[in-house]
Structure 1
Amino acid sequence: MCPADRNDAATAARLTALLTAFSPGDETLGVSELARRTGLPKSSVHRLAGHLVTHGLLEREGTGLRLGLKLFEIGQLAVRQRGLVDAARPYLADLREATRNTVHLAVLEGTEVVYLDILRGPDAPRLPSRIGGRFPAHATAVGKAILAFSPESVVDTVISAGLPRISTRTITAPGLLRGQLSAVRDEGLAYDREESGVGVVCTASPLRGADGVALAAISLSGWTNRMRVERVAPAVRTTALALSRTLH
């Protein structure tokens, strides 16, 4: 790599670090906090932030900085999954209406699921999931639904990265996870029985392409003492099958 390329890569890495330093719930961050989170010198943060403000990727508010509206506009142009979200929305809405519980649409990225759409049900618990948010795949029903219909190399990558414990019931043993994935392949349904959070259960089914590989998954989440996953699971699977047919 030539010196110019190295400089470009370093600048891109620093800009990315600044933009990704913001976490859910952050309204504004000061230069000192951004320097602490990114490990960059304050002078560099100040200089780079100025460029990002100029281009609308960051905005100044008082003495702090916040993510700019331009980022939202760019996000709306990320069409890789936009068609999937648009196609799925009517199906998700019907499923929420029928069950009054929260419906998720998610894809796998690396070892985590990314939530593309969430329709919150009036009778469902307030969940930490958010559109654009991530969660370890092994600890979610949507993650297990996708992994079960993914190449074995994908499952190996997730397992080799480690299976962190999210709750007291999270599956952390590779053999047990593989056993669950085998059951998901047989039934077309995955379950989260308080594995991602205490008091919450979930059932999911994959959206599969013409080759049978999972493209995404949909799930239904509710309170442990109010939603019987076995009762609502057929509706989730039927919805996933119907939606999968529209994606071929």
Structure 2
Amino acid sequence: MGGLDRAAAILGAFNTTHRELTLAALVQRSGLPRSTTHRTADKMIRLGWLDKPGERYRIGNRLFEISSLAPIRHELREAVLPFLQDLHHAAHTTVQLGVLDGTQILVVERISGHLPMPMLSQTGGTIPAYCSALGRAILAYSDAATVEAVLAAGLPPRTPRTLTSAVAVLRELTAIPDRGWAVDREEGNIGISCVAAPIFDPLGKCVAALSVTGPSKSVRADRIGPAVRLAAAAASRAYSTRR
């Protein structure tokens, strides 16, 4: 295993629920020998890739600086953020921006305001594409191979309301283009519903989706859906002018 592979294994040990790790935890989660982990982590600290203010390692500021240059952050996020802010102001609940990453949705941006919803993924976290409104909004405009890969990865129930058959998910995807938005009715978390709409690039390819998420009693698709669709359409135009 080369130096970059070892560094990748160490970086892969961190996620939204493991933001700081002791050396022992880093060894366990990276799968590397203790001496290799210690030596590689020390070099990564010198490079600014890791930080260790005490006894725990965490991601370094240099990686944050580099990640901000990625097109998904610099172009997409900057173009869509004003519309997320408008949508949050109108809906008074959490709004999110997500992109498809394999069979998962990567949450690129999230605005939650003062209403805490710890059950939702933080920015940088992932959620399954098959049972999330963000995922369905993107999959409805994806090619057959992409949809098949998501379905083949499995459809385990996250709640009693999760659609767990390929036929049911495909039926839901088919309805989205005519309606203009996707819906998750307590399929990821009981009591929480989500409405999402797609964001397109200048060539008409769906590159992301934005959503409104909150308590089911306040997030009603028939009421919030048109606003989400309009926000996504405006975000698509703004993103296209930056390309």
TM-score, with structure 1 as normaliser: 0.90
Does the aligned pair in 1 maintain the 2:131–2:184 contact within 8 Å?
Answer: yes
Counterpart-to-counterpart distance in 2, 1:32 and 1:216 = 37
Q: Which has the larger radius of gyration?
A: 1
Q: Provide the residue aligned with 2:137 in structure 1.
A: 145
AA partner of residue 77 (structure 1): L
Counterpart-to-counterpart distance in 1, 2:127 and 2:212 = 16
Indicate how the Cα distance of structure 1 residues 66 and 209 shifts in structure 2: closer, same or farther if over 3 A, else same. closer
Indicate how the Cα distance of structure 1 residues 93 and 62 shifts in structure 2: closer, same or farther if over 3 A, else same. closer
* Of 21, 35, 40, the match for 1:29: 21
Q: Provide the residue aligned with 1:4 in structure 2.
A: none
By how many angstroms is 1:146 displaced?
0.2
Q: Does 1:101 align with 2:93?
A: yes
- Identify unmatched segments of 5+ residues in structure 1: 1-6
By how many angstroms is 1:196 displaced?
1.1
Does the aligned pair in 2 maintain the 1:147–1:154 contact within 8 Å?
Answer: yes
Counterpart-to-counterpart distance in 2, 1:33 and 1:228 = 43
* Of 155, 162, 175, the match for 2:147: 155
Q: Does 1:130 align with 2:122?
A: yes
By how many angstroms is 1:66 displaced?
2.1
By how many angstroms is 1:40 displaced?
1.2
* Of 154, 157, 165, the match for 2:157: 165
By how many angstroms is 1:22 displaced?
1.7
Q: Does 1:11 align with 2:3?
A: yes
Q: Provide the residue aligned with 2:217 in structure 1.
A: 225
By how many angstroms is 1:91 displaced?
1.0
Indicate how the Cα distance of structure 1 residues 232 and 174 shifts in structure 2: closer, same or farther if over 3 A, else same. same
Counterpart-to-counterpart distance in 2, 1:126 and 1:230 = 26
SS in structure 2 of the partner of residue 165 of structure 1:
coil
Q: Provide the residue aligned with 1:3 in structure 2.
A: none
Extract structure 1 runs of 4+ deviating beyond 6 A.
none
By how many angstroms is 1:162 displaced?
1.4
Q: Does 1:207 align with 2:190?
A: no
Indicate how the Cα distance of structure 1 residues 214 and 11 shifts in structure 2: closer, same or farther if over 3 A, else same. same
The higher-RCO structure (CA 8 Å, 6+ apart) is 2
* Of 11, 16, 41, the match for 1:49: 41
* Of 45, 65, 77, the match for 1:73: 65
| Cα deviations by residue, 1:124-153 (Å, 9 ceiling, x for unpaired) | 744422111111111210100000011111
By how many angstroms is 1:27 displaced?
5.1
By how many angstroms is 1:182 displaced?
0.2
Does the aligned pair in 2 maintain the 1:101–1:123 contact within 8 Å?
Answer: yes
- C-alpha root-mean-square deviation of aligned residues, in Å? 1.8
Q: Does 1:39 align with 2:31?
A: yes
By how many angstroms is 1:228 displaced?
1.9
* Of 59, 63, 68, the match for 2:55: 63
Matches within 5 A, 1:111-122: 111-122=103-114
Q: Percent identity?
A: 38
Does the aligned pair in 1 maintain the 2:212–2:219 contact within 8 Å?
Answer: no
Q: Does 1:191 align with 2:183?
A: yes
SS in structure 2 of the partner of residue 144 of structure 1:
helix
Counterpart-to-counterpart distance in 2, 1:113 and 1:164 = 16
By how many angstroms is 1:237 displaced?
0.8
Counterpart-to-counterpart distance in 2, 1:210 and 1:62 = 47
SS in structure 1 of the partner of residue 40 of structure 2:
helix
| Cα deviations by residue, 1:134-192 (Å, 9 ceiling, x for unpaired) | 11111210100000011111101111111232222222211111110001122121000
- Identify unmatched segments of 5+ residues in structure 2: none
Counterpart-to-counterpart distance in 2, 1:182 and 1:82 = 32
SS in structure 1 of the partner of residue 21 of structure 2:
coil
